[in-house]
Chain A
């Protein structure tokens, strides 16, 4: 046992020591913190040859960075890649604390926390309207790369959602891709009878739940009315009183007809790819990005993307096709010159083709000399003939509408909600505005 006791007479003197230690410690702490920020800012601008970059394009950005460094000798790109969820969380924190990289992934339009409108509005992105490619963007892309008439997002690629078929499995089943809604249901029944359901559905990951619905809404709603979004924005239309009800009903009809494998809510994205890649289902309703993933899971198989029919006149079919995530430049970039150089490289034929080839998409600008993969011939044709609509959420006023839809669809599939309830809730969230 230790008993604390100071020599009685020296007490005043001794007391000064801990005070001194305490003071020194707190000063050291303060110094360490201020030193940290200082070191950080110095490190960031360390030479005009270093570019910092945060990206969600895992698997393709690596090659683009390599090509960029090769084209600009002496330049070093320090980059990080992460999944969308994690990225959106991190980039917000970095932007609001002033530690964001020079160039960063930015989603088109609105509706998610890393989207163009969301980041451009508080002034975090540099205006890129003066860059050579900005004027060349097609209108459909421009509408989601711009905020209040200024371009903020270097969107390099576009993607579409459709039915991706496993060609070997289709051949084995002796079936061909359906072109009308009636054919689709017959196709599902025939596929089910052969023991290989038509489509894999990974609804456990809630973002997957929307894809079939988007594919159906494109034709059902926008096939009738290309100005549906303008009407929604003007308050002249609602989800609940539009053909969205028909589209949602068709989604559930597909489920009842047995178009999907059993237990879609217990099946995740990964597992659904496995089913389609190995021919346990004939295909999967997904974005074209899934093709590269399917090929990785089964290198022997070939895949083809077709529009998912939603009515009986094939000429009216529309594919949801939209700009993918692009790159924005930090308004407070430490190396703005290099940042612009990088973005312009991404938008050059070389950078763009490198990106879309790796990702299995299509370039956003015409005349890049890009030869689309044969699996995407139909998507390319639809884009060329203006038979596409942007992904539906890209023009919604806030992120909540989509989140409500995603969890609502899971609830409908598990009997906890009804289509009417879901569309009413989406209307309420839409009306809440931005």
Chain B
């Protein structure tokens, strides 16, 4: 539903109001009262808020997920994180993965969108193909790639067949490569997703503006930079937000491709949360990690949103 309180209309659009100011103010108050949202809020509180808050309280205990007797340990888990090499490494990997995915996926997504936004004949088929990986469950694509990237997998065979034998690598088994393999697989899957959002943005750029710029003598690069780019700002905001949040929370791809290995070479905060909780039974510590993850997501995404929406306003 659209709510349009009278006050927001520009003065000249508004019919002269015969009522005195006090009456107008009272009329404004007849906008839907906040408790209209109550059923939804209650449901949200019951399903999301209450369980989350109750969950957070375990971060301050030594609960093992099983024993009904546990004790309060205060901030121990949080200070332990600063000494836990695995946790520090996982946080670093998480940020590395999130930033790389965000940059590469959006750059690629934008290029693809520009590509399929042209008049080439097969553009509709291409759009479908490029978007297809995004509709498959990540765990499925990850298992697929786990086989493709094996020592005797299709990727290495392909390099061999092309006479590029030196390029053959143990993609998931070498600590230096495994993290990038995870980034690569994730980008492969979701570049099409970013593409679709950019495409929607591109198609909302009015043709007349382009034509006007062309008549004024702007070349394709200049037209992209001065016309398309500013008008794409909302699409960019959404894409960056989605990919950075997805990157920070990344779990399925890592777990299926490498299980966090070799050793801890690809462990992210999410895989560590899973392992600490379900293989080691350290629920308290693992929930503390989850709290930190939540804080990181909240801080990064609000920070990013603030910057991007400022740019958006500046661009428009």
Contacts and interface: CB of A to CB of B under 8 A. Distances in A.
Interface of A: 1-6, 8, 11, 15, 18-19, 21-22, 25-26, 29, 85, 88-89, 92-93, 95-96, 112-113, 118-119, 121-122, 124, 203-206, 262-268, 271, 398-400, 403, 407-408, 410-411, 413-417
B278 A2 contact: no
Given A19-B35, A265-B170, A413-B262, A124 B66 contact: yes
5 contacts: A112-B279, A265-B261, A268-B146, A411-B262, A413-B262
Interface residues of B, number: 49
A416 B265 contact: yes
Interface string B18-48: 0000000001001111011011001100100
Interface string B105-118: 00000000000000
Contacts of B146: 268
Contact of B42 (A18, A22, A122, A403): A22
A29 B43 contact: yes
B151 A262 contact: yes
A359 to B, nearest CB: 23
Given A85-B279, A266-B174, A415-B175, 5 more contacts: A15-B33, A113-B280, A203-B262, A206-B261, A266-B172
A89 B298 CA distance: 28
A95 B64 CA distance: 12
A413 B68 CA distance: 40
The 9 closest A-B pairs by CB, nearest first: A266-B173, A265-B173, A411-B263, A263-B151, A266-B170, A410-B262, A22-B38, A263-B170, A25-B39
A426 to B, nearest CB: 14
**B interface, over-half SS:** loop
A418 to B, nearest CB: 12
Interface of B: 1-6, 27, 30-33, 35-36, 38-39, 42-43, 46, 65-69, 146-147, 149-152, 170-175, 258-265, 275, 277-281
Contacts of B279: 85, 88, 112-113, 399, 403
B33 A414 contact: no
Contact of A266 (B65, B171, B265): B171
A264 B263 CA distance: 13
B4 A416 contact: no
Contacts of A398: 280
Given A22-B42, A266-B150, A417 B263 contact: yes
Contacts of B170: 263, 265-266
A26 B44 CA distance: 11
A20 to B, nearest CB: 11
B281 A416 contact: no
Contacts of A266: 149-151, 170-174
Contact of B281 (A92, A124, A204): A92
A4 B31 contact: yes
Contact of A2 (B1, B68, B172): B1
A418 B259 CA distance: 21
Contacts of B35: 18-19, 22
